[in-house]
A = this chain, B = another copy of it.
Amino acid sequence: MDRHLRTPELLIDLDVVSRSYEALTSQLPGLTVHYAMKCNPHQEIIGRLHSLGCRFEIASAAELDELRRIGADPAQVLYSNPVKPVAHIAAAHAAGVWRFAFDGEEELDKIAAVAPGAAVLVRLSAHQIRSGVPSEGKFGVDADTAAALLLAARDRGLRPYGVAFHVGSQMLLAHAWRAPLRAVARVMDKLAAESVFLQMVNLGGGFPARYCAVNLPPLSDYATAIGIGLAGLPYPVETVIEPGRAVVAEAGTLRATVIGTAVRHGRRWAHLDVGAFNGLMESLETGNELRFPVTDSRCDARRDRFHLTGPTCDSQDTIMFDVELSAGLRAGDEVYLGCAGAYTTVYASRFNGFDPPAVRCVSGVTLETSGDAAYSR
C-alpha cells in the first residue's frame, strides 16, 4: 500500500486573489497596495498579483529572490522588516531595492554601510488596540524618537523618506489606524520644523479576512477611518498599505483527510492529516480562537460536534474545538477548511514526519465562507 497520502493540499483560487486585490484597490482609493510576501509567497499567487499591477513588500532577501523570479521590479519593492541581516540589506540594495524600514540607530548604521543613500522609513509603535492575530509589539518607537531617528538618518547620508506602522494582523476595528496617523502627523510636524519633508506613509497590513464567527466591517469603514487620519497630516504624501491576509486568505481551501475519529470523555474528536504543525500554526498562536469555516465530503444531514485536531501525537496540534460536521464522519472522509490561503503553508514544519500541504492553484472550488454558514450546510 502506498503510504503517501493524497492530502493535505492547499487549493488556491487565483480568481479570488484577483477579486480581493481589486476590492482593496477600488474601495481604498489612493492607497498603493504592496502585497506582504510573508503571508503566502507561492509563485502563481505573486505572479497573478504582479500581472494586476500589485507591488510587494519583503521581510528578507529570500523573499526578494521569489519576486525576481516572476519579473517584479525591485525598485518598486519595500523592504519593511525593521531589523535585517546586513547581508540581506546589501543583496537587496544590489538588486535595486532602495526603500528600507528601520527603528533604531544600529539599523541605520548597517543601512548606511551597505546601501549608501538609501531611503528609510521609521517604524512607529502602534499596538494600543489588540488585533485578532497578535503580531505587534516588538517593533516601533514613539513619535519623538521617530523624528529624531529620521534626522539621524539624514546625518548618515540616508534619505528620511517616510513613516511606517502596523496595527496588528486581522484588525477588526477600523479606527485602529487613527491614533497611529495622529502620531505620524506629529513626526511630520517635528521634521518640517527642521525643513525635512517626507514622501511616504506606510499604513501596514492588518486588513482582515472572513473567518467564521467574525463580524467583518466593510472595507468602506477602513477607508473612512484612514481618510480621516490622512486628512490630519500636515501635507500630502504617497500612502501605501501592505495587506497579506486580506488578499489571499479567502482564496485558499485546505483539503484534508480524516485519519481517525475517537470518543474521549464523552466528546468526539476528528484527527486530520493537517494540524497546527504542518499548516495551521495560527490555531496555536491564537489559542484556537481563529475559526476556519469547515465542511466535509460526507455531507450527512445528521450533524454532530467534534474537536478537530492534527495528525501528530502532540495535543497542541489542535485546530478548533466544537465544530459541526457530518455525524457519520470517519477515517477516509475529507474535510475542507476555508479561508486557509494566508499564514498556513509558510508556517508549516514536518513535525512527526507529516508533510506540509502541497499547493495547487485552481478556480471555482472556494467554500462559502460567509459567517458561520459553512458550519450549518
Partner-contacting stretch, out of A26-34, A48-56, A76-84, A357-365? A76-84
Query: Which chain B residue lies CB-closest to A260?
Result: B83
Q: Which of A90, A263, A316, A348 has the most CB of B within 10 A?
A: A316
- Whether A331 sits at the interface, judged by CB under 8 Å, is yes
Taking the closest CB of chain B, its distance from the CB of A42, in whole angstroms, is 13
A138-B307, A311-B85 as given contacts; A110 in contact with B260, CB under 8 Å: yes
A-side interface size class: 35 or more
Whether B60 lies near A352 (C-beta < 8 A) is yes
Can you report 21 A-B residue pairs in the complex whose CB atoms are below 8 A from each other?
A: A5-B85, A59-B352, A62-B353, A63-B353, A65-B353, A80-B313, A81-B312, A84-B260, A85-B259, A85-B311, A104-B261, A104-B263, A106-B331, A125-B264, A125-B265, A134-B316, A136-B315, A137-B318, A139-B264, A277-B347, A347-B349
- Whether A176 sits at the interface, judged by CB under 8 Å, is no
Q: What are the nearest 5 A-B pairs in CB distance?
A: A62-B353, A104-B262, A137-B315, A60-B353, A3-B91
Chain A residues numbered 114-137 whose CB sits less than 8 Å from any CB in chain B: 114, 125, 134-137
Contact of A139 among B81, B284, B285, B315 (CB under 8 A): B315
- Whether A314 sits at the interface, judged by CB under 8 Å, is yes
Q: CA–CA, A2 to B91, complex, Å?
A: 8
Whether A138 lies near B349 (C-beta < 8 A) is no
Residues of B within 8 A of A262 (CB): 82-83, 103-104, 106-107
Interface residues of A (CB under 8 A from B): 1-5, 37-38, 41, 58-63, 65-66, 80-88, 90-91, 94, 103-104, 106-107, 110, 114, 125, 134-142, 257, 259-265, 269, 271, 273, 277, 281, 284-285, 307, 309, 311-318, 330-332, 346-354
Query: Which chain B residue lies CB-closest to A332?
Result: B86
Whether B354 lies near A62 (C-beta < 8 A) is yes
Whether A265 lies near B80 (C-beta < 8 A) is no
Copies of the protein in its oligomer: 2
Q: CA–CA, A63 to B312, complex, Å?
A: 12
Q: CA–CA, A281 to B348, complex, Å?
A: 11
A135-B316, A142-B265, A316-B285 as given contacts; A2 in contact with B331, CB under 8 Å: no
Residues of B within 8 A of A135 (CB): 314-316
